[in-house]
């Protein structure tokens, strides 16, 4: 089906009757009401002409966070499976995050009864949030119990999230059926629309009776908290009939709530978590003066027999500056940190400074925006070359854009080299556990969708790495953040970090993936960025200077004195000398540098890289090959040796395959090593591959007391995906794809981390739960799988007819 015909059917199918495996989508419903939960399914859904892929949750399922509503740089508002509002960053409480707020926001009144559309039992507490150490930042309150006496709540809530959309079906004993489609603008390939600070709450009412029905629908929003503004004093203004609602303006944050599709609209103060306020929505809303941040709006409705109707509440906002310390009113950096609180301007605020004007834009374009969102999702859902689980997960993993992205406008305190058209874009590694901007290995793992869909953002970041690069060629570790003891989300406090052995391949990979999909025929971007990669490559080769080592052995090795670490920060007794993992990654870095040198016309450096590659391959064979795998590490001068089978020692081979480079390690050695990892590391895990195993396939011992350790059975989800793809690229497609599926099944269907992506998981036979991390954008590594499934390099999906090309075309409206 063509793009244009798909688009034409999207809107027509909103309220049509469709069959789903013998089940009917009732007119007005968003998806079938009796689908099984916590498993990947295909089913019909409103707005889609063909079946979608997804997981249905109910309010009792263990979903740690609901879908985050928001776009790029805008902050986000979590909508929990309980129907409550969760974490909120739209007013710049990033570290610690505001919430979970645990607040109801939607209610309906019919006759003498009011239903508040949430499950009051499902109260969530903050996870981590930098509240474990009160000396770092203030502890902000988390929403507590709800007092909803006097009103009713749903018997059940069914929830389907497909970022940037959350669909909720409420089961209430009322003459009116209620469903909610909440969504935010996120359109791959359209940056300007994706930074629009708005969320639309489309409430679908359906009269289940043969009689006319009247009622009231109410929406409540808490507004900014006390620590998100300098003064709790607001200019509150009711808006006119053309766009009814309310505008609330403060010194650091403003917002508006407007209503579309209702004849009679009233506004007032926040309804909050008190049942008595909600009970009265049909007749009155709470009073509010200039000291009140929160608001509510109510829309009266009258439905004819069996009528369906949509009323939309549009939330728009502007909080133009964020504080590098993490929350707006911070006046000092955390204890033992350097720097000072500094304000950075959001790029979205440059284009959308006025929430009321933004609301007008949404009012004019909401139908086309939603149609384009569903159109790009449909391109993923209907790609039958991909398994159902992957189609669902490719859509939802993009929620990490709104959780983690910040885009600063040029100007102080950013350096002068930041261009006005670029600003400086960056991703926050883990806002609730390890807040820092552009941690370079995280971007290695998770930035491919940025390069695919938003090349302007990717180039902004690459120019940031170029501007911050050290004179000796060392790549910057972070633009600012916790591991550098600088303010958590500061964009102008770069540090070197400590993973010296692998920062170079991270940088080279980021540049190369961009060039593979976006460089121009004149190689203008290559000419601009190649000098940075060359300087970094020279530094990598010079990290080890042990005189007794050959040049090949030095290339495989940790830096002099084994200084610092590499991606895997836990090794016992500590990374030493020549290491297989570092060796394979340095080979990949050399292959990237060699190809760039040829493209840039630097034949001398290309030849030098080729010599180093040959020397490193020889040293890997001579020093580290055991007959079944490569040694974890070996330092001849001290006799320190680790004979563990490291499950991810072939990461460099994945880079080579995914980037379409010439051979790294000999193919027979790769095949034998993969067989050993399957026998040892994969066999010890239910749904991944443990980091380390003994060569006989038994678990490694517990780490010594006081040793930094991830755990005997732990693993990183993006690393498990890289290993899975290494099998796929090397003749074991079925095994590799199943390894990836098992990893993601544990995340999504068992643990409920769909919108709360972890960093480290337990891989043994017990729970499989996380050991660390939330909202880790590393997990956008998932977008590397479509290329691997087709045995293509990463540029494959960008070609005409490829998945990335089709998604972007649909998101742009089928241009």
Average pLDDT over residues 540-553: 98
- Residue 642 CA to residue 694 CA, distance in Å, equals 10
- Residue 305 CA to residue 103 CA, distance in Å, equals 33
What is the average pLDDT value for the chain, to the nearest integer?
Answer: 93
- Judge contact between 616 and 552, C-beta under 8 A: yes
- Enter the tokens of residue 584: 């394979």
208-245 tens-digit pLDDT: 999 999 999 999 999 999 999 999 999 999 999 899 99
- Say what the pLDDT of residue 156 is: 96
Edge-to-edge strand list for the sheet holding 308-318: 40-43, 52-58, 156-162, 165-171, 176-183, 198-207, 308-318, 254-260, 245-249, 235-239
- Say what the pLDDT of residue 520 is: 83
Backbone region of residue 498 per phi and psi (left: phi > 0; alpha: psi in -120 to 50; beta: other values): alpha
Average pLDDT over residues 704-713: 80
- Enter the tokens of residue 166: 């959350």
Picking from 464, 596, 603, 590, the residue whose alpha carbon sits closest to that of residue 539 is 590
- Say what the pLDDT of residue 25 is: 53
- Say what the pLDDT of residue 574 is: 86
- Say what the pLDDT of residue 767 is: 79
669-686 tens-digit pLDDT: 999 999 999 999 999 999
259-301 tens-digit pLDDT: 999 989 999 999 999 899 999 999 999 999 999 999 999 999 9
- Judge contact between 402 and 100, C-beta under 8 A: no
- Residue 736 CA to residue 674 CA, distance in Å, equals 11
75-98 tens-digit pLDDT: 999 999 999 999 999 999 999 999
SS (H, E, C) 484-543: HCCCCCCCCCCECCCCCCCHHHHHHHHHHHHHHHHCCCCCHHHHHHHHHHHHHHHHHHCC
Residue 645: its H or E element? strand 645-646
| 782, pLDDT greater than 80 | yes
- Judge contact between 355 and 256, C-beta under 8 A: yes
Average pLDDT over residues 25-39: 86
Q: What confidence tier does 17 reach under pLDDT thresholds 50, 70, 90? A: very low
- Residue 77 CA to residue 767 CA, distance in Å, equals 29
DSSP-derived 3-state class of residue 157: strand
Sign for the pseudo-dihedral over CA of 391, 397, 402, 407: negative
104-149 tens-digit pLDDT: 999 999 999 999 999 988 877 664 343 333 344 444 666 666 788 8
493-502 tens-digit pLDDT: 999 999 999 9
**214 DSSP β-pair partners:** 302
Q: What confidence tier does 729 reach under pLDDT thresholds 50, 70, 90? A: very high
430-481 tens-digit pLDDT: 999 999 999 999 999 999 999 999 999 999 999 999 999 999 999 999 999 9
Q: Which position has the higher pLDDT, 354 or 708?
A: 354
Average pLDDT over residues 500-508: 98
Sign for the pseudo-dihedral over CA of 569, 573, 575, 581: negative
């Amino acid at each position: 089906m063509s793009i244009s015909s798909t688009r034409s059917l999207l809107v027509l199918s909103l309220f049509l009757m469709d069959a789903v495996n013998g089940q009917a989508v009732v007119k007005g419903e968003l998806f079938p009401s009796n689908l099984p939960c916590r498993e990947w399914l295909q089913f019909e859904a409103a707005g889609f002409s063909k079946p979608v892929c997804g997981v249905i949750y109910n309010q009792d399922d263990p979903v740690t966070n609901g879908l985050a509503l928001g776009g790029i740089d805008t902050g986000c508002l979590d909508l929990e499976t309980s129907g409550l509002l969760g974490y909120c960053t739209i007013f710049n409480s990033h570290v610690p995050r505001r919430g979970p707020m645990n607040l109801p926001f939607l209610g309906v009144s019919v006759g003498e009864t009011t239903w508040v559309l949430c499950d009051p039992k499902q109260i969530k507490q903050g996870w981590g949030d930098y509240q474990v150490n009160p000396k770092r930042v203030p502890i902000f309150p988390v929403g507590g119990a709800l007092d909803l006496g006097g009103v009713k709540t749903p018997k059940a809530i069914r929830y389907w999230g497909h970022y940037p959309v959350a669909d909720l079906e409420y089961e209430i004993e009322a003459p009116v059926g209620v469903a909610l489609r909440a969504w935010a603008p996120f359109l791959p390939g359209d940056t300007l629309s994706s930074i629009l600070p708005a969320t639309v709450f489309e409430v679908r009412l359906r009269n289940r009776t043969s009689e006319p029905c009247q009622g009231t629908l109410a929406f409540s929003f808490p507004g900014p908290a006390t620590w998100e503004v300098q003064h709790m004093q607001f200019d509150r203004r009711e808006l006119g009939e053309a766009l009814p609602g309310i505008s609330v303006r403060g010194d650091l944050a403003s917002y508006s709530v407007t209503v579309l599709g209702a004849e009679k609209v009233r506004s007032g103060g926040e309804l909050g978590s008190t049942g008595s306020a909600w009970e009265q929505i049909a007749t009155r809303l709470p009073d509010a003066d200039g000291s009140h941040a929160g608001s509510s709006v109510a829309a009266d409705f009258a439905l004819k027999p069996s009528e369906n109707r949509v009323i939309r509440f549009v939330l728009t906002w502007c909080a133009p500056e964020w504080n590098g310390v993490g929350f707006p009113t911070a006046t000092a950096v955390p204890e033992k940190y350097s720097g000072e609180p500094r304000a950075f301007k959001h790029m979205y605020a440059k284009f959308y400074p006025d929430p009321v004007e933004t609301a007008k834009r949404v009012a004019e374009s909401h139908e086309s925006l939603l149609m384009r969102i569903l159109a790009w999702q449909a391109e993923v859902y209907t790609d039958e070359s991909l398994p159902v689980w992957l189609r669902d997960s490719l859509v939802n993993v993009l929620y990490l854009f709104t959780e983690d992205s910040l885009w600063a406008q040029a100007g102080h305190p950013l350096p002068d080299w930041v261009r006005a058209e670029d600003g400086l874009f960056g991703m926050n590694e883990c806002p609730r556990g390890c807040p820092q901007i552009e941690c370079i290995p995280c971007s290695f793992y998770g930035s491919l969708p940025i390069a695919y869909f938003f090349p302007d953002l990717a180039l902004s970041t690459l120019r940031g790495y170029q501007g911050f690069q050290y004179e000796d060629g060392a790549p910057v570790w972070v633009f600012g953040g916790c591991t550098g003891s600088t303010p958590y989300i500061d964009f102008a406090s770069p540090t070197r970090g400590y993973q010296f052995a692998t920062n170079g391949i991270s940088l080279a990979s980021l540049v190369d993936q961009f060039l593979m999909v976006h460089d121009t025929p004149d190689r203008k971007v290559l000419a601009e960025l190649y000098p940075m990669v060359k300087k970094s490559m020279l530094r990598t080769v010079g990290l080890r200077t042990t005189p007794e080592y050959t040049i090949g052995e030095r290339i495989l090795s940790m830096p002099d004195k084994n200084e610092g670490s590499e991606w895997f920060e836990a090794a016992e007794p500590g990374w030493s000398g020549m290491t297989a993992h570092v060796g394979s990654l340095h080979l990949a870095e050399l292959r990237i540098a060699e190809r760039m040198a040829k493209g840039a016309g630097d034949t001398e450096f290309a030849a030098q890289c080729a010599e180093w590659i040959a020397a490193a391959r020889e040293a890997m064979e001579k020093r580290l090959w055991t007959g079944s795998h490569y040694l974890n590490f070996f330092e001849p001068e001290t006799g320190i040796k680790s004979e563990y089978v490291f499950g991810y020692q072939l990461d460099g081979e994945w880079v080579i395959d995914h980037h379409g480079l010439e051979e790294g390690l000999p193919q027979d050695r790769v095949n034998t090593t993969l067989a050993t990892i399957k026998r040892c590391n994969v066999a010890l895990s239910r749904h991944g591959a443990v980091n380390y195993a003994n060569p006989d396939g038994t678990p490694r011992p517990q780490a010594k007391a006081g040793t930094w350790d991830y755990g005997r059975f732990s693993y990183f989800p993006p690393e498990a995906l890289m290993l899975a793809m290494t099998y796929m690229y090397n003749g074991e497609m079925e095994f590799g794809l199943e390894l990836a599926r098992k990893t993601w099944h544990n995340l999504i269907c068992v643990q409920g981390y769909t919108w709360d992506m972890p960093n480290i998981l337990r891989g043994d036979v017990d729970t499989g739960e996380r050991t660390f991390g939330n909202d880790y954008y590393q997990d956008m590594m998932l977008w590397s799988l479509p290329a691997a499934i087709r045995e293509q390099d990463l540029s494959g999906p960008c070609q005409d007819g490829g998945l990335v090309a089709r998604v972007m075309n649909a998101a742009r409206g089928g241009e």
